[in-house]
Structure 1
């Protein structure tokens, strides 16, 4: 990845730098990765809550710590002498919204009907599409028209909990992981070893303040275990929240005069999976096809009903549910260890990770308490 692949806007992130035991706050200026860590602004949380995040990142004093081309090229190699990008958020809650695109809605119904058995997916896909069709895209969730479709589907005997959150009045919002548990660009992403049917979920994720203000966006991989969730939606935690199962990065791009939520609403998010077996999977997710607005998803997450004093990051969901056969006709897609997953869009750059088992990825050992102790010892709080 070259610097030309990065957007030219206001970028903020975190990096592991030689000589420091704790993450440093970084931005990109003139082709250089620049350390802007400062007392009182030593976390992305503090910058986000300042009320002037973009202005601070643009004007904060800093020192160049590496050529951004070299840093990005080193992402999967992890040479210790070069800065290693970390997830670009820290103390924020990790939240996610599900079933926000019609294509993925249909795949969730198929998972449920298959009871997690991917060998049944192909036949079920044909059967379900014959019953309910594919054009639910014009339905506004919770509207009178959507409720009529719901009633018709119940009558046909194909109503599903996924259809409930896909076209019903209430959005699916869940906790993807704990603060400080996400991984960043270049890191391994983890699959629970019990899973035999899984996939990446390329998404845009919003940076939201404690007041519910959306101030920026990044890319995310909401790693999913289709067989586990397909067995029961009550296993969502086991399907979604495992070591290294949440990836974000490479940077948060903060909203300014040239980049806004309206830009995000038109984003085309591309996915590429490259396997060590030579398999290549490509697809795209068009944010214009989302069935619930980003604002409504944020409102369903934070408000009078639920507060997040350190803010949050919200995955917006994906329309991409891979069905390309990998190991034979009708077997569909599932990950293999060593897959390299790249998620990209021109306004946010490219997030790349390599797939491993969650039990083999580096364990999560550096949490909130460790960060606060380190920042206190460095006199940065």
Structure 2
């Protein structure tokens, strides 16, 4: 099992709920086993990330074997049914959870369609053809913020099809928003949540970067930036309601730290797979290529952190998705939307596979363990 869920090589960093401990434990994977490397001074992912050599530290840290990683992965998918086996958590803790939007042309066009449809999925298919005909250019060739992009913007305004999504898709400024609060993300095997008001929604398979407090990119993981198309389509001012709900940010299964064989260049060439399997027998397969991103990962990080905005505990940054599912489900012209119980898997060989089951945010386990709880527990354990 582990061969398909975690990368076959690399230095992995994560968190787990371990029997007998009140607080999450810091873990890695070695020789097919989950290893607890929690230590005083390095009892959080944040502390390790802020060290001089995170990859070197994780690779050499003294640890305790917690058992086969296969058993942990199986128990994580089962919601911790076996109380004697660890469960994986989101691999970050005190970092801010940020996201970039409209960084791929395909998703750019779908955002324009959402806006024009005003959240009505029944209008999406006809609008898709109309908007593509009106735009009449290959936006993938445009460099955001360039002189050519500015000319296209002017032409679109003249034709009456300019959109706030085109502004951040080809304009000079990237869209960066807060996806969730520190400690609010969920990990491998957990339920991901949809706000109950939504009837048109989808997964967003993405790569997420781990970034330190000084803006250094030190690793990456997979993420599902759960999206409510109808809510955001009604108004971009509803972005918070569309994006930040209980269990709406998934990350994992582990952070893979940059080392000699894995770097930001690996991420830029990653091929991201998406599979949705419904209890109704519906199957959707999708594919994204990071090589088609319109803004470099480095530029997105620079737009997030710098002299204009600091993050003392670092951050994780979702890089955006090119995948906007349009495959009909439930009838011709109805497009795609989730059904409860859908199993969503996001994968790429260098980072593994992140799998979650879809539920309502109101039915997912409530978020009750925050930064204050973590710090108190670590203090009691004399790990701070």
TM-score (norm 2): 0.98
What does the per-residue CA deviation read over 1:222-265, in whole Å, with 9 as the maximum and x for residues that have no partner?
Answer: 00000000000000000000000000000000000000000000
Equivalents in 2 of 1:348, 1:331: separation in Å?
33
Equivalents in 2 of 1:212, 1:317: separation in Å?
18
Residue matched to 2:74 = 73
Equivalents in 1 of 2:356, 2:164: separation in Å?
31
What does the per-residue CA deviation read over 1:298-324, in whole Å, with 9 as the maximum and x for residues that have no partner?
Answer: 000000000000000000000000000
What does the per-residue CA deviation read over 1:195-214, in whole Å, with 9 as the maximum and x for residues that have no partner?
Answer: 00000000000000000000
Residue matched to 2:14 = 13
Superposition pairs of residues 119-134 of structure 1, within 5 angstroms: 119-133=122-136
Equivalents in 1 of 2:98, 2:22: separation in Å?
27
Question: Contact 2:116 / 2:127 at 8 angstroms: preserved in 1?
Answer: yes
Describe the SS at the equivalent of 1:151: helix
1:133: how far off? 3.5
Does residue 170 in structure 1 map to residue 197 in structure 2? Answer: no
Superposition pairs of residues 298-313 of structure 1, within 5 angstroms: 298-313=301-316
Describe the SS at the equivalent of 2:47: helix
Question: Contact 1:185 / 1:248 at 8 angstroms: preserved in 2?
Answer: yes
Superposition pairs of residues 30-41 of structure 1, within 5 angstroms: 30-41=31-42
Equivalents in 1 of 2:3, 2:111: separation in Å?
37
Superposition pairs of residues 15-30 of structure 1, within 5 angstroms: 15-30=16-31
Question: Contact 1:3 / 1:31 at 8 angstroms: preserved in 2?
Answer: no
Q: Which segment is superposed worse, 214-223 or 130-139?
A: 130-139
Residue matched to 1:47 = 48
In structure 2, which of residues 200, 203, 207 is the aligned counterpart of residue 200 of structure 1? 203
Equivalents in 2 of 1:251, 1:91: separation in Å?
16
Unaligned runs of 5+ in 2: none
Equivalents in 1 of 2:294, 2:320: separation in Å?
10
Equivalents in 1 of 2:260, 2:225: separation in Å?
29
1:74: how far off? 2.4
Describe the SS at the equivalent of 2:245: coil
Residue matched to 1:321 = 324
Describe the SS at the equivalent of 2:267: helix
Describe the SS at the equivalent of 1:219: strand
Question: Contact 2:4 / 2:353 at 8 angstroms: preserved in 1?
Answer: no
Does residue 157 in structure 1 map to residue 183 in structure 2? Answer: no
1:5: how far off? 4.2
Question: Contact 2:202 / 2:325 at 8 angstroms: preserved in 1?
Answer: yes
Q: Which segment is superposed worse, 16-25 or 68-77?
A: 68-77
Question: Contact 1:3 / 1:69 at 8 angstroms: preserved in 2?
Answer: no
1:334: how far off? 0.2
In structure 1, which of residues 332, 345, 356 is the aligned counterpart of residue 335 of structure 2? 332
In structure 2, which of residues 82, 86, 89 is the aligned counterpart of residue 86 of structure 1? 89
Does residue 212 in structure 1 map to residue 212 in structure 2? Answer: no
Describe the SS at the equivalent of 2:119: coil
Equivalents in 2 of 1:133, 1:72: separation in Å?
47
1:70: how far off? 1.5
In structure 2, which of residues 234, 237, 240 is the aligned counterpart of residue 237 of structure 1? 240
Question: Contact 2:345 / 2:354 at 8 angstroms: preserved in 1?
Answer: yes
Question: Contact 2:5 / 2:354 at 8 angstroms: preserved in 1?
Answer: no
Does residue 282 in structure 1 map to residue 293 in structure 2? Answer: no
Unaligned runs of 5+ in 1: none
User: How many residues matched?
Assistant: 381
Describe the SS at the equivalent of 1:75: helix
Aligned CA-pair RMSD: 0.8
